[in-house]
Amino acid sequence: MQTLSISYCNCALVLRRNPIGKRNHVVNFSLLSSSSSSSSAPTLICGAKSKTQTDSLRVLEWDKLCDVVASFARTSLGREATKKKLWSLDQNFDESLKLLEETEAAIKMLEHASFCLDLSSIHISLVETGIIHARRRLSLRADQALEVASLLRFFDRLQIDLKAAIKQDADSYKRFMPLSEMIMLPVINRSFVKLVEQVIDPNGTIKDSASSSLRLSRERVRELERKLEQLLDAIIRRQKDAESMTVAKIDGRWCIQTSSNQLTSVNGLLLCSGSGGGTAAEPIAAVPMNDELQNAREAVAKAEAEILSMLTEKMQVDLYQIEDVMKYSIKLDVVNARATYSRAYGGAHPDIYLPPEDGVESLSAGDSSLETNSSSEESLRRKEWLLYLPKCYHPLLLHQHKKSIRKTRETLKYNKTAGTVSGPLPVPADFQISKGTRVLVITGPNTGGKTICLKSVGLAAMMAKSGLYVLASESARVPWFDNIYADIGDEQSLLQSLSTFSGHLKQISEILSHSTCRSLVLLDEVGAGTNPLEGAALGMAILESFAESGSLLTMATTHHGELKTLKYSNSAFENACMEFDDVNLKPTFKILWGVPGRSNAINIAERLGLPCEIIDSSRELYGSASAEINGVILDMEQYKQEYQRLLNESRRYIRLSRELHENLLRAQRNINDHATRERLKIRQELTQAGSMTRSTLRRTLQQFRASAAQSSRSKIATQLQTKVNTTNNGDNGTHSSSVVVSRPTSGT
């Protein structure tokens, strides 16, 4: 066990630290009086972790950002659910990944242009009260039934749009996951929607055609009202002071009203009489019809109640399904709020990863074995950093800027004046914290942006954990933090009799007690508020404790120069400073990494015209060694700026070379594709020519064979004919010779 004792302001601060490697370490700050060692001294320990985390969220203004994001929800229940979900910050790593997947899917749906996730046309509170009435077996109101049907119709339309997108592209279901499952899961009761459309008008009035009894009752009401109006008009025409009389309705009863306070000559019942309001009387002849009118209206109300009771019974049959649609609608509104905010403010999908707890590297959301070469190189470059947030904006400052631009534009539009609406954007900061860094010490001048940097990182970490896109460039990489603790601002407590310094120590003590190896700790002006030497020693001890076993990452701002030296004795520390413009004597709000901040007070005083004697005396008192250190730091800043310039230039050349390489690869692919197409074309032409040649040869051969067969048949026929002729000739010669021979014989 290590113990550090520092006396200050008649008090002693005892710091107890556990050995390295124990997660559930306890660091106790005890405020002890130097004149008494009584155990009744006040303690700075607060065991309520929820209060510590709540205070941290409050000083980081997370509640204000929750309100901004919730304003993008389209329903009242969606806004409440958005704020509640964002404020909880109770997600584990897998849940954070799922929330980011939902946000990404919603953004893809919004960019697809065929999906409508806007629920603003539906009064979701009426749907909620309608479900409550149905659950309690109370009759629905017409407007409640109408809004329930509108919600079901909206979800049905969403399912139809998703099915159409899947029909066009089968990969759409996977592309829009997990929202695809959320949309397709509820069962829509289309028969209830159709029934509501049949009986209720879009303005919320039950239709006459809803039932025959309602139609007849309303017709009877209209007929009685017409007769009453005719009757009263006739009575008025018979009166002498008819000009001051009008037909009116009081409490649903038709009567005659006069503009004067004098009693009328109409024979009837006096309904009302007041100063300045005239008098109203119901004629005796109109009383029976008014009574019948009241009965007819009661019949109308009874018929309407029967219809609403029938709708309630139909709704109760599938009440659980309607409740599911309601639940998924609110959840969809929450996701849509996150997606719309992320798009409106130019957010980027963060690559969140689970920090190793036992030294084994964890997978991140962006890990994939199917990455391309360029994306793989980018991913490997990002994995070199513990936290990588290039061009990171403070979300509330960016919101304030957009709000100011919008207000100026509305003013110009209202005044009908022409002018350009513009304003300086907040300056983004580049956060590049390498692996192995446990504590980052940021120094710089007042109002230089140190506190804004702390809040920007804290809000970015909470946004990534809650499923929001971070306001940084596309290559953002953020570890998943189980908790974010912060000690920022003046935490003076008059109720607890604690000074500003004691208030900071109380908060730091609670943070040390509850932080883990996966926590983010943000400390503003650590060690401030007391004697500079003691404050510096205390700040060094606190930061060393966090570096050993206090948190995954601690970021601290300070004006104590001694804290800058921790980097050179402990590799877990890193320095950064806020850049200062020596020419214009104002901060640039940019971060210089690896460079400790230097003092600018004497130089500023000299440039502002303070007498030379005072400047020389102050430099002499400050010391030549400190001046030399400032000179070295100034050289480091210049070298760092030159290095950054060269680094940006080299990155630009690398980007250009990659573009050229991609163009060459594209050209090579085009050449190869062209050569392949030409080879295929030539092969097709040769194949076609061969086919034509074979066809021609086959046809010629067939013709030759046919000609040969014809000539062969002709030759054979000729030969046969010749043979036949020869045979015939031979027979004739034999017969002639026999005759010749026989003649001499007969002569002898």
Q: CA 546 to CA 523: how far, in whole Å?
A: 11
On whether the CB atoms of residues 246 and 232 are closer than 8 A, the answer is: no
Distance of CA 575 to the CA centre of its chain: 34
On whether the CB atoms of residues 267 and 284 are closer than 8 A, the answer is: yes
Q: CA 38 to CA 21: how far, in whole Å?
A: 33
Q: Which residues pair with 281 in a beta bridge?
A: 256, 270
On whether the CB atoms of residues 315 and 192 are closer than 8 A, the answer is: yes
Write a three-state SS string for 669-709: HHHHHHHHHHHHHHHHHHHHHHHHHHHHHHHHHHHHHHHHH
Q: Which residue has the higher pLDDT, 149 or 475?
A: 149
Least confident of 56-60, 289-293, 385-389, 643-647: 643-647
Backbone angles phi, psi at 559, to 5 degrees: -110, -5
Q: How confident is the model at residue 726 (pLDDT cuts 50, 70, 90)?
A: confident
pLDDT for res 131:
92
Give one word for 462, left, alpha or beta, with left for phi > 0 and alpha for psi -120 to 50.
alpha
Q: CA 268 to CA 291: how far, in whole Å?
A: 14
pLDDT for res 169:
84
Q: CA 672 to CA 10: how far, in whole Å?
A: 84
pLDDT for res 19:
37
pLDDT for res 13:
37
Q: How confident is the model at residue 550 (pLDDT cuts 50, 70, 90)?
A: confident
Q: CA 223 to CA 227: how far, in whole Å?
A: 6
- pLDDT greater than 50 at residue 595: yes
pLDDT for res 337:
95
CA-to-CA dists, residue 716 to 562, 706, 707, 727, 729, angstroms: 127, 15, 14, 16, 19
Q: CA 534 to CA 539: how far, in whole Å?
A: 8
**Full DSSP string of 28-61:** --BEEETT---TTS-B-----HHHHHHHHHHHTT
Alpha helices, H only, 89-141:
93-112, 124-135
CA-nearest of 455, 359, 415 to 56 is 455
CA-to-CA dists, residue 540 to 502, 560, 707, angstroms: 17, 10, 114
Peptide bond into 445 cis (omega under 30): no
CATH class of the domain whose range is 67-206+309-348 = mainly alpha
Q: Domain spanning 349-354+383-406+425-491+509-597 has what CATH number?
A: 3.40.50.300
Average pLDDT over residues 256-276: 67
- pLDDT greater than 70 at residue 182: yes
Write a three-state SS string for 404-457: HHHHHHHHHHHHCCCCCCCCCCCCCEEEEEECCCCEEEEECCCCCCHHHHHHHH
Helix %, strand %, coil % for the chain, to 5?
A: 60, 15, 25
On whether the CB atoms of residues 479 and 356 are closer than 8 A, the answer is: no
Percent of the chain with pLDDT over 90: 29
Count CA atoms closer than 13 A to 67's CA, side-chain side: 7
Q: How far apart are the first and last CA of the chain?
A: 175
Average pLDDT over residues 255-272: 71
Q: Which residue has the higher pLDDT, 475 or 392?
A: 392
Tokens representing residue 105 in the block: 């899917």
Q: pLDDT for 322-372, tens place per residue?
A: 999 999 999 999 999 999 999 999 999 999 998 876 544 455 555 543 344
Average pLDDT over residues 504-509: 85
Q: How confident is the model at residue 468 (pLDDT cuts 50, 70, 90)?
A: very high
Least confident of 300-314, 350-364, 473-487: 350-364
Strands 477-479 and 31-33: unpaired
Q: CA 587 to CA 429: how far, in whole Å?
A: 13
Average pLDDT over residues 599-608: 72
Q: CA 456 to CA 460: how far, in whole Å?
A: 6
Q: Which residues pair with 485 in a beta bridge?
A: 521
Q: How confident is the model at residue 84 (pLDDT cuts 50, 70, 90)?
A: very high
Give one word for 97, left, alpha or beta, with left for phi > 0 and alpha for psi -120 to 50.
alpha
Average pLDDT over residues 400-426: 75
pLDDT for res 94:
93
Q: pLDDT for 655-701, tens place per residue?
A: 888 889 989 998 998 999 899 889 888 988 888 888 888 888 888 88
Helix (H) or strand (E) holding 390: strand 385-392
Least confident of 38-47, 83-92, 105-114, 417-426: 38-47
Strands 2-8 and 11-17: antiparallel
pLDDT for res 493:
44
CA-to-CA dists, residue 400 to 17, 340, 449, 646, angstroms: 43, 17, 16, 34
Q: CA 429 to CA 423: how far, in whole Å?
A: 18
Average pLDDT, the chain: 79
Tokens representing residue 22 in the block: 């124990």
- pLDDT greater than 50 at residue 746: no
Percent of the chain with pLDDT over 70: 79
Average pLDDT over residues 28-49: 34
- pLDDT greater than 60 at residue 32: no
Least confident of 195-199, 300-304, 727-731: 727-731
On whether the CB atoms of residues 466 and 95 are closer than 8 A, the answer is: no
pLDDT for res 1:
36
In CATH terms, the fold of domain 212-301 is: MutS, DNA mismatch repair protein; Chain A, domain 3 (1.10.1420)
pLDDT for res 514:
87
Q: CA 619 to CA 600: how far, in whole Å?
A: 12
Average pLDDT over residues 307-326: 91
Q: Which residue has the higher pLDDT, 103 or 644?
A: 103
Average pLDDT over residues 99-105: 93
Q: How confident is the model at residue 277 (pLDDT cuts 50, 70, 90)?
A: low
Average pLDDT over residues 604-633: 71
DSSP state of 383: T
Q: CA 217 to CA 302: how far, in whole Å?
A: 10
pTM: 0.71
pLDDT for res 728:
67
Strand, coil or helix: 736: helix
On whether the CB atoms of residues 29 and 44 are closer than 8 A, the answer is: yes
- pLDDT greater than 70 at residue 383: no
Report CA dihedral (49, 50, 51, 52) to the nearest 10 degrees: 50
How many residues are recorded in the chain?
A: 748
Q: pLDDT for 197-240, tens place per residue?
A: 999 998 888 988 889 999 999 999 999 989 998 988 888 888 77
On whether the CB atoms of residues 105 and 176 are closer than 8 A, the answer is: yes
